[in-house]
Amino acid sequence: MPALMNHDFFGKDLLGDDPHIIGDTDDDRDAFLLGCQGPDPLFYLATSPLHAKYWHLGTQMHVNFTAELFCALHKAQDIVSADEKDIAHAYAHGFICHYELDSIAHPLIYATQYKICGAGIKGLDDSAHSEVHAFIERELDESMLWRIRHQTVAEYAPYKHIIIAREHVLRIISKMFSYLALTVYGKQVPPDMYRLAIHKMRRTQHLFYSSTGMKRNVLGDIEQIVRRYSMLRSMAPRPVANPDPWVANEDHHEWDDPATGTPHFESFYDLYDMALEKAKKDIPLFDQPDFDLDAAHKLTGDINFNGEPSEAQIEVHEVKPLGSPENAQGAENARNFEGAYDSEDFEGDYDSGDTKGSNE
């Protein structure tokens, strides 16, 4: 999942190009931008002892039955009341946006992850894949925040501006999620599961927010007492001006799609633009009254959110060992990842701010 900010920026870029894909109310806009986060909020249920068993549904939605999921999403717009349909419609359009960016950008992200984890550095192997994946996506978030807003998290607190919506919007989307969980994955979930996930996501983003980097480093150091790499340090954006993330592949090094082995040279920014163009084409197809399972298969090409054939599971691919000519780039990437944990040092205090915000 390209992380929180990139999905939000993606939705706002699409609205800038075509504002008529949703209604004109604040609730419609908020629902659309929540949709741009896709199933990702469900991962934050892992922080709730009462609801942790449901976070795996987020993984299932990313991996399995992708065409069936979009077919059910189309039908889910009809299970809400007449006065809720605009919000449901906007959310569905945002959900498509999440899929477009995920499915197109994930092959590069996974290819970079495999190179880092397979470079032969002791302790930096597939056991650290979650931290490495989060690290890559955080670097891309920092880069796009600077490119789009010319700001860092010192000026822009994501939890104040993203995943903002009124409670009745969350309740409508929760109905849709319950329908998707039951009809596609055969899981009966609490009727307010999605609402709870958003609240957990907001709290976690607030906890992770570090305007100067001090809180991020202090909490990250504490976490690293018990584990080699810190998930908090991997996820929490740094206040870095004009970042130049090597993970974005702006120099257009060759990389192979992990699912197909096809060589590519695109940067993350190239893939971001490709996903925008695809979203503009796919949303009108999704809106057709006769959109059905066959149409969903055509829309997705049977490719899941990870950018691989739907139903499959991402597996670690063999990567040439550190020092070999075939993995020179992977070795460099791994050293850059290791360096990120040794060199990041920010001073000062953090401003926790308040919990109010806007989807500006």
Q: Write the pLDDT tens digit of every residue in 268-320.
A: 999 999 999 999 999 999 999 999 999 999 999 999 999 999 864 434 334 44
pLDDT greater than 70 at residue 323: no
- CB-based contact 101:269 (threshold 8 Å): no
pLDDT at 37: 98
pLDDT at 139: 95
pLDDT at 120: 85
Q: What are the boundaries of each domain within the chain?
A: 4-313+330-342
Cα separations in angstroms, 279 against 17, 188, 256, 261, 268: 11, 30, 24, 25, 16
Q: In 3-state terms, what secondary structure has residue 241? A: coil
pLDDT at 337: 58
Q: Provide the whole-model pTM.
A: 0.86
Which of 329 and 320 is assigned the larger pLDDT? 329
Percent of the chain with pLDDT over 90: 78
pLDDT at 346: 22
pLDDT at 244: 84
Q: Look at residues 358, 8, 347 and name the one whose alpha carbon lies nearest to residue 211.
A: 347
pLDDT at 57: 96
The number of angstroms, rounded, from the C-alpha of 52 to the middle of its chain's C-alpha atoms is 19
pLDDT at 121: 84
pLDDT at 114: 93
pLDDT at 311: 62
- CB-based contact 68:46 (threshold 8 Å): no
Which of 360 and 341 is assigned the larger pLDDT? 360
Beta strands 255-256 and 263-264 are antiparallel
Tell me the per-residue pLDDT of 175-226, one tens digit each, with 9 for 90 and over. Answer: 999 999 999 999 999 999 999 999 999 999 999 899 999 999 999 999 999 9
Q: Where does residue 236 rank: exposed (0-12), middle (13-18), buried (19+ CB within 10 A)? A: buried
Least confident of 46-50, 94-98, 115-119, 319-323: 319-323
Radius of gyration of the chain measured on its C-alpha atoms: 20
Q: How many CA atoms lie within 13 A of 256 on its CB side?
A: 14
Q: Cα separation of 68 and 70, whole Å?
A: 6
Q: Read off the DSSP letter of residue 1.
A: -
Q: In 3-state terms, what secondary structure has residue 204? A: helix
pLDDT at 312: 41
